[in-house]
Structure 1
Amino acid sequence: MARFKQILSDGWTFRQTDDDSADAWLPVPKVPSQVHMDLLANQKIPDPFLDLNELAVRWIEEKGWVYKVKFSEPTRLKNEKAVATDLVFEGLDTFATVFLNGAEILKSDNMFCSHRVNISTRLKSENELEIHFDSAMLRGRELVEKHSHEHTFYVRQTEVSRVPVRKAQYNWGWDWGPILMTAGPWKPIYLEQYVTRIDDVWLECEVGEDLKSCSGRLFAKVAGDQADTINLSLSLHGNIVFEKLCSIGSEGLVETDFTVPTPDLWYPLGYGEQTRYELKATLGTYDQVLKLVGFRRTELVQEVDNFGKSFFFRINGIDVFSGGSCWIPANSFLSQIPPERYRNWIKLMAEGHQNMIRIWGGGAYEDDALVDACDEFGVMVWHDFAFACASYPTYRSYLDSVEEEARQQVRRLRTHPSVVIWAGNNEDYQVQERYKLEYDYSDKDPQSWLKSTFPARYTYEYLLPKIVKEEDPFKIYHPSSPWGDGKHTADPTVGDIHQWNIWHGAMNRYQETFELSGRFVSEFGMEAYPHLETTRKMITDPQQQHPGSIMMDFRNKAIDHERRMVTYVAENFQIKYDLPSYTHLTQIVQAETMHFAYQTWRREWGKPGARKCGGVLVWQLNDCWPTMSWAVVDYYLVKKPAYYAIARVMKPLAVGISRAFHDWTSGHANPTLIAKDTKFDLWLASSRVQPEVVEITVRFISIRTGQDILPAKQLHGVTAEPNSTTEVLKEYEVQLEGGNLAGPNRPFDLKSYDPFVIHAVVASGGQVIATDSSWPQPLKYLDFSDRGVTFRAASASQIVVSAARPVKGFVFEEGEAVKLSDNGFDVVPGEKKVVDVTGTGLDKLRFTYIGAPEGSIPVTF
């Protein structure tokens, strides 16, 4: 009598729509799948992720495809009365017409919508299911032509045909990913037989301001016959805290009030436990549904202050600095991502002290496995709706599809405690600004918005917030990213901003992050190459494995990528252009950018009532294919040095040192000013909810000799204020003697100049908990020769790195199998850097650092 599911994963075949030859049908290894994977499995195309093969598979995007499978009628419930049989499609990519035994049963034009079709009267003892997929590229072009009289389709990033199609927009290519237009049954397809079933179970609740109670309503939706009651319960660690037998309403809706006194709450990473309760709906012996839910009180604090209007999250009464990453799909072929890979990604974030992920609007509504992992590890989810970088239409059929899509996705994700905010889109208001589309913030009539040249305002400011309010009433909604109360999207005083004046735009130096902050920086980034193993996997010809080769340029989709990358490298380092050396230089540029940005903007977290910056999310965490990009972890989950730079700055208690910025190349800039300015700031950034007394040691170390040029400054009994920035030293001046400084009337003496590193160590209870170093800028002016690097094996899986003179940007060559506890770090004399190593022997490690004589050097003991 219980619900029975038969998954249709095996026995499929497929063919090109316009190929009706006898041998056109090819086997499909397994569904879910997408056509590129099936063609690759049948050796009909080369691997799109290698070399120039993306170009060799472009023909696929303009073809239609047919998938079919034969199946027998399930017999398990055949003798039950009132048995219903449904055919369930969790996701079809994208324009799909479905036939069962030759009769059309479904048409779908939205990749993000699931479908359930009752086939009880159509089922035979032997059945054939056939799905016809049209080319999304061609259908998109047709829709643009059809609706061009009523809407102007503006688009950034590749071609306009993506705009009217409800499909993952990155399939059309982006400035970090290939053009790979997928098609096929990208999510599971299955038969379901039941007498009665639970369609959904969820809750709407609010934690009281005093955090001592949680109350609201439990809901269930029931389909089918022969059930009058359903049991709803909440339990924690096997103990039931609420239970009620409820009557089922005429429409199958069930609801009941509930209260949980003194609830155990769900907290973000670093602020408390990630407690989850078990929500259970039991429909007699017919069906049972379990969900893990969490209780937390969530606020987006937007209050007028001395900096404009704040923008930060308050969870369970605690102000939370959101330090994390933006997320793109983890593969160009979404059907190929297993659940454990999603969990590995989020575990990786948590290990790096990242507590928020922003799921970008040009991808997909993310998989349950990813959001489950966010619940587990305490990573807050900012989820964009699936719109990005375009002016989207609002004709009736399109809006109807969007509404169904949005309702389904909000319902699917509403019980996850990690999902704290929905945003209407990614950068569509920047498109409005760029093309000067009509937008009057004072006009509050949604119907008038539909008649403007920017009709998508109706979607973002009326339709989507309405849906969120109806389906998940306590969820935060934000019209766009970036967005700030109708002001310009680059306004740093309100809302969130995408800060692209590093890399794009004005191409500010990364040392200028102090001029580039906002109330919440939800995008910024710097490109870097992946580690050598990844480059050598994606480009198989050794003759092409060098910067500037045709294949290397093809892999990097960023506009003007090489001129931007080389500018940042050349401004800061002496250039070496062989692959190992240039890879390392780009990685250290990226890591230094992360260090400066996260450190500067986390410092601006400030204190209660003065939260100048509420969060920093790097663009981007990951890649969808092997490439060089803004990702801080590559496609194979191999961490770049930038990942570790973020992890160090985002420690629960971190120390920061900064020197004043002095321009060194613009016009008549004086590049010796940094040597004359001997002042620095030192501060502590804490996310801990209790104050902590620490000891701080500040050293001043000659880069040339490795000797301390002054006695260390000892700061005893310094209190790191809870959840705040504690300014310890402000414009503290180093008192130097000798030739370090140029006199007022004599030229700067390079021979006697002895540049130094300022190095701070924070300890508590005799244990080092944080360090930071500040170097004279730019680093290319410094002599990094003869660093005296040595190694010692502390154990079979632990290596100790030491140096006679300060080392910048020490990097072990990392690969898919190699895991390190830290990388991309600085080494100072007198300290031993201990690194845990798994996946390889210590004697197999290779390394480099700024100024190393070769690009990749084997470790010797």
Structure 2
Amino acid sequence: MTDRQIVPLNEGWQLAEAPARASAAELARLPESAWLNATVPGSAHGALLRAGRIPDPFYGMNEQAVQWVGDKTWVWRLRFRVDADFEPHEDLVFQGLDTYCDVWLNGELLLSTDNMFVPHRVAVRDRLRAGLNELLLCFHPALVRARVIEAAHGKRHLWNGDSARLYVRKAQYHFGWDWGPVLMTSGPWLPIQRQRYGTRIDDVQCRQLHATEAGGPVRVQLRTRWAGDAPSRVSHELLDPEGRPVAAADVSASCGEASLTVTEPRLWWPRGMGEQALYTLVTRLHAGDQVVAVDRRRIGLRTLRLVQQPVAGEAGTSFFFEVNGREVFIGGANWIPDDNLLERITPARYRQRVEQAVAGNMNMLRVWAGGIYEDDAFYDACDELGVLVWQDFLFACGLYPAHAEFQASVRAEAEAAVRRLRHRACLALWCGNNEDYAIAESIGAHGPQAPSGRFPARVIYEELLPAVCAALDPDRPYWPGSPYSPNATGITLSSDPTVGDRHSWEIWHQAMLPYQRYADVQSRFVSEFGMQAHPSLALLERTLPEAERYPESRTMVWHNKAGSGAPDGHRRLAVYVSDNLRAATSLAGQVYATQFIQAEAMRVAYQDFRRRWQRPGARAVGGALVWQLNDCWPVTSWALIDSAGVVKPAWHAIRRAMAPLAVALRQEKNSLRFTVMNAGATRELAMRFKAFDLQGNCRFEQTLGWTADSDVSADGWIALPVSDITVVAEVIATDARTNSEISRDCAWPEPFKYQDFSLASLSFHRSDEGLKVSATAPVKGLWLLSEGLEFEDNFIDLVPGDVRHIAVRGVCRAPVVWTALDQLGGKVPEALIPGAPFSP
């Protein structure tokens, strides 16, 4: 459609509480004093919060004080004027209504909805009035409706939230999760438009046929669907990333299909592998010489394949992605909605989060099944920045029903999502659900001995959804669930480490194994794993009442939802901290301790998983997606970035482990095992090893040459002739030609609580780009923090002789505070941190 045909209906809305089963006439008689100003997109919680009618749900334990909002019926009202010059077609388009909603126009019921994820288009030309019109949206409490449906169909098993959620096509995390609050939102969560047209483009499907040779011609096959008056012809034009035409096709409308050929394509690559070339496909409908409708969308020219083949010397098959013929190790994170009030997630916020993932050397985000199909701004950022997207369909941690009405709703939802997203270069995989196979196994409803009929949603994951994908997006892989492990005998499990993907929760959940044992819980693709940590101290101080700002306060525990039944995340945190570190008594000390453990756990995990990427034909681990990248509210969780957008130390640990060339070091009895992990071209390296006692004396030093083969992870060993003393070992990989440092890692004596790392003195100096830091003895986990500043490297380890240069960006608005393991910490001298912006 052209811009002149779209009239946004986002401003001028009002909101009021309504009787539970009010008619349109009764709603129209609500007193004017009952109405509050509201905006679309929006939620009842958001409107009430702006009006001062409810407290901030994220502060303290206010979550309890706002539960009544989700139990009420809320009506939204818009009065808008319409001129008499109607187009042949006048539609109202509701992109997303959350969830049970009756829609009236001028007192006439237009539709009733029951699925948050299904857009609706209603023809209203004969229902609009010239002059003033009134649109009413009446949202009914989702949980109340859900429990009525559950009573009719039966209670079903689940993890997290109220069991009735399984019958509701609403974002499942709204019912509460082990990292999020219970906030039962309602409202028009996506834009509403009046669309006026004679003809409109309903859909454009584009498929790619690539030549077998790299960089060979690409043929783009196109199919256009329209509504309204039939056009006379359809034209397609493909513009290169600079906006220059490179291909065109003009066909009769009766044909409906066309193709374009790009003779010298610029391919789209994941970050770090090449450019993110995005072409613009422009489709126009013509009525004679007049253009009556236009569609623009950006596409990337690329191939993508999910590779499942034998792994040399091992059982099972691989699970990794190949893009443009090149095998890619995936290092990334799981993504949850970035707020409970979805209208607050701006395009800039989406962009910032994806940029943070990219800066952390991540190349994939998994859009998790308990959230939403994200806003276009999210996928735009992933397209532009080269982040692959693993896209779940929205079924999480439960035995969902599969009666006819439910399946019909799911089909409409899936078809809408696939049509909207299938042109995206970033989109790598459709996945049927999150942990539903695992939960079925946990109660004996799935597996080789399971009786039939106890897992009805298999028909959704194994028939309905793959059929939708095959019909609408046949060139992209579909995977029935995560985790999902179909073995050679035809038996599908959720935990087989030799096939499919796996969630490795033996660390933190289940047996609570030490984090040092991530190598023992690897799999062909580790799509979930993680370790909790507190958010930043500054965020906690804004979230907790002053009297509650101490470890294990009632409000601190409230802001940790982890656990089954009664939350026990604070207990699990305490176990991991006490197993490894000395006790912290202050809130600041506990924040540092939990973030320290999370960072060390992620260093071990990513290094041990990436180490198993090995060589072509022996890709034993194809990827690792940490749970989770982001948070939706101020909470102690597995997130790498808290809800204020502040990265935790674990983000830096992952950034280093996922660098294009990274090294990992471990002490093993009388030797050092090192791993060189290279995602780029072959490089010649000089590997420099040192070992220091805790007083700072160098006890060992050696340099050796090493060839880092392209796209390979490989191990090496050297003898460590100092077994009689406790040492800290370091390896630095430098370019053999230029002597420039590429990567480094340290191996420390553990558990840390048995050692004394307080013997070092730290020195800070100003450098051209920020700070220089050095130490007289080994220093573990130096963490720098200041409002307004970003430290390019942080949570660093120091050994004597190192002078670490840390680039700093931003404007300093508070003192730079530092802390490290066993160090009292302090402030960096203010003279080294001027108020003026740092420049790279």
Same fold at TM > 0.5 = yes
Secondary structure (helix, strand or coil) at the match of 2:767 reads strand
Which residue of structure 2 lines up, in the alignment, with residue 96 of structure 1?
101
Which residue of structure 1 lines up, in the alignment, with residue 380 of structure 2?
372
Deviation digits for residues 552-592 of structure 1, max 9, x if unmatched?
00011011111110111111111112111111011110000
1:686 equivalent in alignment to 2:695: no
1:381 Cα deviation from its structure 2 partner: 0.3
Bigger CA drift: 208-217 or 552-561? Answer: 208-217
Which residue of structure 1 lines up, in the alignment, with residue 687 of structure 2?
696
Which residue of structure 2 lines up, in the alignment, with residue 724 of structure 1?
712
Contact 1:527/1:565 (8 A) holds in 2: yes
Following the alignment from structure 2 to structure 1, what is the Cα–Cα distance between the partners of residues 446 and 548? Answer: 48
Residues 478-627 of structure 1 mapped to structure 2, 5 A cutoff: 478-485=479-486, 486-539=491-544, 541-559=545-563, 560-627=568-635
Residues 273-352 of structure 1 mapped to structure 2, 5 A cutoff: 273-284=275-286, 285-305=291-311, 306-307=313-314, 308-352=316-360
* Aligned pair partner of 1:434 in 427, 431, 442: 442
Residues 455 and 332 of structure 1, relative CA distance in 2, 3 Å threshold: same
Residues 484 and 837 of structure 1, relative CA distance in 2, 3 Å threshold: same
Contact 1:96/1:131 (8 A) holds in 2: yes
1:238 equivalent in alignment to 2:243: yes
* Aligned pair partner of 1:714 in 699, 703, 706: 703
1:790 equivalent in alignment to 2:780: no
Secondary structure (helix, strand or coil) at the match of 2:579 reads helix
1:259 Cα deviation from its structure 2 partner: 2.9
AA in 1 matched with 2:231: A
Contact 2:726/2:749 (8 A) holds in 1: no
| TM-score with structure 2 setting the length | 0.93
Deviation digits for residues 485-512 of structure 1, max 9, x if unmatched?
1432111111000000111111111111
Which residue of structure 2 lines up, in the alignment, with residue 769 of structure 1?
742
Contact 1:638/1:814 (8 A) holds in 2: no
Residues 332 and 843 of structure 1, relative CA distance in 2, 3 Å threshold: closer
Following the alignment from structure 2 to structure 1, what is the Cα–Cα distance between the partners of residues 666 and 211? Answer: 42
AA in 1 matched with 2:246: V
Residues 842 and 772 of structure 1, relative CA distance in 2, 3 Å threshold: farther
1:415 Cα deviation from its structure 2 partner: 0.4
1:273 Cα deviation from its structure 2 partner: 1.2
Which residue of structure 2 lines up, in the alignment, with residue 17 of structure 1?
18
Following the alignment from structure 2 to structure 1, what is the Cα–Cα distance between the partners of residues 196 and 264? Answer: 41
Residues 241 and 567 of structure 1, relative CA distance in 2, 3 Å threshold: same
Residues 551 and 859 of structure 1, relative CA distance in 2, 3 Å threshold: farther
* Aligned pair partner of 1:393 in 397, 401, 404: 401
Which residue of structure 1 lines up, in the alignment, with residue 805 of structure 2?
834
Secondary structure (helix, strand or coil) at the match of 2:643 reads coil
Bigger CA drift: 420-429 or 269-278? Answer: 269-278
- The alignment's C-alpha RMSD in Å is 1.9
Contact 2:97/2:188 (8 A) holds in 1: yes
1:818 Cα deviation from its structure 2 partner: 2.9
Deviation digits for residues 423-454 of structure 1, max 9, x if unmatched?
0000000111011115559x9xxxxx9x7111
* Aligned pair partner of 1:192 in 192, 195, 213: 195
AA in 2 matched with 1:696: M
Following the alignment from structure 1 to structure 2, what is the Cα–Cα distance between the partners of residues 678 and 857? Answer: 39
* Aligned pair partner of 1:818 in 789, 792, 799: 789
* Aligned pair partner of 1:71 in 80, 93, 98: 80
Contact 1:215/1:260 (8 A) holds in 2: yes
Secondary structure (helix, strand or coil) at the match of 1:363 reads coil
Contact 2:339/2:345 (8 A) holds in 1: yes
Residues 59-458 of structure 1 mapped to structure 2, 5 A cutoff: 59-74=68-83, 78=85, 83-125=88-130, 126-148=132-154, 152-211=155-214, 212-225=216-229, 227-236=231-240, 237-249=242-254, 254-284=256-286, 285-305=291-311, 306-307=313-314, 308-439=316-447, 452-458=453-459
| Seq. identity, % | 38
1:682 Cα deviation from its structure 2 partner: 1.2
Which residue of structure 2 lines up, in the alignment, with residue 46 of structure 1?
55
Deviation digits for residues 140-185 of structure 1, max 9, x if unmatched?
101101112xxx5111102111001000000000000000000001
Following the alignment from structure 2 to structure 1, what is the Cα–Cα distance between the partners of residues 829 and 496? Answer: 49
Secondary structure (helix, strand or coil) at the match of 1:822 reads coil
Deviation digits for residues 235-254 of structure 1, max 9, x if unmatched?
213332321112224xxx82
1:802 Cα deviation from its structure 2 partner: 1.2
AA in 1 matched with 2:720: V
| TM-score with structure 1 setting the length | 0.91
1:799 equivalent in alignment to 2:771: yes
Following the alignment from structure 1 to structure 2, what is the Cα–Cα distance between the partners of residues 699 and 103? Answer: 79
Deviation digits for residues 107-131 of structure 1, max 9, x if unmatched?
1110001111110001102100001
Contact 1:378/1:418 (8 A) holds in 2: yes
Deviation digits for residues 717-757 of structure 1, max 9, x if unmatched?
x2110000132x23x22123xxx52xxxxxxxxxxx44333
Contact 1:222/1:248 (8 A) holds in 2: no
Contact 2:786/2:814 (8 A) holds in 1: no
Secondary structure (helix, strand or coil) at the match of 1:770 reads strand
1:22 Cα deviation from its structure 2 partner: 2.9
Runs of 4+ in structure 1 off by over 4 angstroms are: 438-441, 856-861
Deviation digits for residues 507-540 of structure 1, max 9, x if unmatched?
111111111110000000000011111111111x
Following the alignment from structure 2 to structure 1, what is the Cα–Cα distance between the partners of residues 307 and 137? Answer: 48
Contact 1:482/1:496 (8 A) holds in 2: yes
Deviation digits for residues 592-647 of structure 1, max 9, x if unmatched?
00100000110100000000100000000000011110001111110000001000
1:859 Cα deviation from its structure 2 partner: 4.4
Following the alignment from structure 2 to structure 1, what is the Cα–Cα distance between the partners of residues 585 and 466? Answer: 51
Following the alignment from structure 1 to structure 2, what is the Cα–Cα distance between the partners of residues 283 and 36? Answer: 42
Deviation digits for residues 217-262 of structure 1, max 9, x if unmatched?
212211111521121121213332321112224xxx8211333334
Bigger CA drift: 817-826 or 641-650? Answer: 817-826
Secondary structure (helix, strand or coil) at the match of 1:304 reads coil
Report how many aligned residue pairs link the two structures. Answer: 804
Contact 1:784/1:807 (8 A) holds in 2: yes
Contact 1:298/1:316 (8 A) holds in 2: yes
1:304 Cα deviation from its structure 2 partner: 2.2
Secondary structure (helix, strand or coil) at the match of 2:498 reads coil
1:814 Cα deviation from its structure 2 partner: 4.8
Following the alignment from structure 1 to structure 2, what is the Cα–Cα distance between the partners of residues 531 and 382? Answer: 28
Contact 1:269/1:377 (8 A) holds in 2: yes
Following the alignment from structure 1 to structure 2, what is the Cα–Cα distance between the partners of residues 770 and 481? Answer: 33
AA in 1 matched with 2:14: T
Contact 2:531/2:638 (8 A) holds in 1: yes
Which residue of structure 2 lines up, in the alignment, with residue 664 of structure 1?
none
Following the alignment from structure 2 to structure 1, what is the Cα–Cα distance between the partners of residues 447 and 749? Answer: 47
Structure 2: gaps of 5 or more residues: 21-28, 833-840
Secondary structure (helix, strand or coil) at the match of 2:656 reads helix
Secondary structure (helix, strand or coil) at the match of 1:140 reads helix
